[in-house]
Structure 1
């Protein structure tokens, strides 16, 4: 029982993602720029597609 109580905080910390480094942030910035360029060239055709793209951006 005591061992379980001691391991739970360690497991919670191990499940966290490390902060993004500079290369990952730069890649995310390029991804966002490419997506906005795509939206400019080929805008979403309807409300469902717009909502889907907004959901994609929110979950990335």
Structure 2
């Protein structure tokens, strides 16, 4: 008899515990939290992009100056090559060796 009362009590407790349903989180609340998180991430990304742009501007200006200097150097090298060709053409031919 003790066992049947104990078994009945355990059965009653388990049925009560299993009969209660957990409430699911409302979908709108979860979606709202996800939207806030995504918004914060977007703000941080845009701030990082602004900082990167500010830091990249001087580097772009320096690269532009370097490209201009390289162009001037190439032009000067071309002029020097032209002058060397003209000098070679103007030089008298060497006398044949005897």
Which TM-score band (shorter chain)?
0.3 to 0.5
TM-score normalised according to structure 1 size: 0.38
TM-score normalised according to structure 2 size: 0.28
Q: Which has the higher contact order (CA 8 A, sep 6+)?
A: 1
Larger C-alpha radius of gyration, 1 or 2?
2
Higher helix share: 2
